[in-house]
Amino acid sequence: MLLVEPQTHTALPSNRAEWLDRHLARVCILSELTPTQFRKAEEKYQAVGDWLATDGSSLAVFAPEVYSQGSMLLGTTVRPYGQSEYDLDLVCQLHWCAQQPPLTIYDWVHERIAANEIYREMLEKLKRCLRLNYAGSFHLDILPACPNDRIGNGSIIVPDRKLECWKHSNPKGFAKWFLDRCQLRDELAERMLKASVEPLPSAVPSQYKFPLQRIVQLMKRHRDIYFSGGRDIARSVILTTLAGRFYKGQRSLSLALEGVLDGIHFALEANPTVPRVENPTHPGENFADTWDQAKYEQFKSYIRNFRTGLKALLNPSLTEQRMGLEKSTERLGHLFGSDRVKEVIRIEANELNERRNSGKLGIAAGGVLTARSQAGSAAVPRNQFFGR
């Protein structure tokens, strides 16, 4: 999964979709965990796992196993709106415990974590999970769980403190479904998002991502902008499920996103009343069980807004085309936040300057800027713009 991103000597985009592919990938890269943050988060959660499982731990007899779930496992992290801290979800799965009352399991895990002086200071009790706050960068939400032996296949049950009951879950099964969907085309070239580029050309290469992972990140980012940070109408799990269901394996990020939004849009338009969004790995579980008609209408308008905006970027009217980059930047800003989009433009300007200064900028017939390596192009000599 972790592959090197393409370099800046690749051709400059020759059409709008290619330009958008690159731009959208950069919006994602600026919104996700950096490789350093990712490694740090992994270290932290492995340390928690060791603390829970080590000899002498009160939980050792249950052979606890800590693994990531949600966006960290799916590769779809997005920094929450207006915050610097990422939510990272972990499962602390015990064994041979399904016969215990749900609250007992929750309390056992809580007790063991609190037995560590450092963790005690950072620990917070939430409805279903225990939260460790790593101030300024992320928090780890640890979900105590027992295997659901009746179903198997990675199924677990998790305590609900409020309802004092067990809830079904299957993060491993869901991730397997999602990552299968990511690889819808089996050729390597089809699977990788060629257009995504590291924010700063000289920095450490970031991760390759599948277009579907980027699509989910973009849907989450637009959700955060559209609902000003509100997440309950368009929960990440709903977005991930719908994106996975309607993705058809396109390689271009912008065209794949358009396809997904078309698919969702038409499915919703065919459903005037509140539909179910079934868990693909646990039929019968409705991810959209909190939707009422009003929330559903808001979800529809979020999809409509996203789709209209993206289509205008891919196929602008003549008037918008005449306004050039300025209009596209404005439209992208409405979708993903204007500060984020301007930051990407800045990165693109730096990249252009780097090509310019290293003799890698070319000009094709007709005056179109391109990579020097492009056949038929002529090198653009260095120049200095003059004037006030």
* Backbone torsions φ then ψ of 197, nearest 5 degrees: -135, 145
Report the residue number, 56 or 366, with the smaller CB distance to other proteins.
Answer: 366
Q: Are 86 and 37 in contact (CB under 8 A)?
A: yes
Residue corresponding to tokens 């020759």: 14
Q: Which residues contact 309 (CB under 8 A, 6 or more apart)?
A: 331, 334, 335
Q: Could you say whether residue 142 binds other proteins (CB under 8 A)? A: no
User: Cβ 235 to other proteins, closest distance in Å?
Assistant: 33
The first and second tokens of residue 286, run together, are 């409705």
Report the residue number, 59 or 344, with the smaller CB distance to other proteins.
Answer: 344
Q: What is the SS3 string spanning 365-380?
A: CCCEEEECCCCCCEEC
- Return d(Cα 130, Cα 106) in angstroms, integer: 8
Of the residues 151, 237, 352, 371, which one makes contact with other proteins according to CB under 8 A: 352
C-alpha to C-alpha distances, 373 to 8, 11, 296, 361, 370, nearest whole angstrom: 12, 8, 50, 8, 8
Q: Could you say whether residue 349 binds other proteins (CB under 8 A)? A: yes
Stretch that binds other proteins, among 32-40, 184-192, 301-309, 367-375 (CB under 8 A): 367-375
User: Cβ 6 to other proteins, closest distance in Å?
Assistant: 18
User: Cβ 351 to other proteins, closest distance in Å?
Assistant: 10
Q: Could you say whether residue 380 binds other proteins (CB under 8 A)? A: yes
Binding to other proteins, residues 305-334 (CB under 8 A): 321-326, 328-330
Q: Could you say whether residue 4 binds other proteins (CB under 8 A)? A: no
- Return d(Cα 131, Cα 134) in angstroms, integer: 10
Q: Could you say whether residue 350 binds other proteins (CB under 8 A)? A: yes
Number of Cβ within a 10 Å radius of residue 243: 27
The first and second tokens of residue 85, run together, are 């801290």
Q: Could you say whether residue 293 binds other proteins (CB under 8 A)? A: no
Q: Could you say whether residue 381 binds other proteins (CB under 8 A)? A: yes
Report the residue number, 91 or 332, with the smaller CB distance to other proteins.
Answer: 332
Q: Could you say whether residue 56 binds other proteins (CB under 8 A)? A: no
Binding stretches for other proteins (CB under 8 A)? 12-16, 18-19, 321-326, 328-330, 342, 345-346, 348-350, 352-353, 356, 361, 363, 365-369, 378-381, 383-388
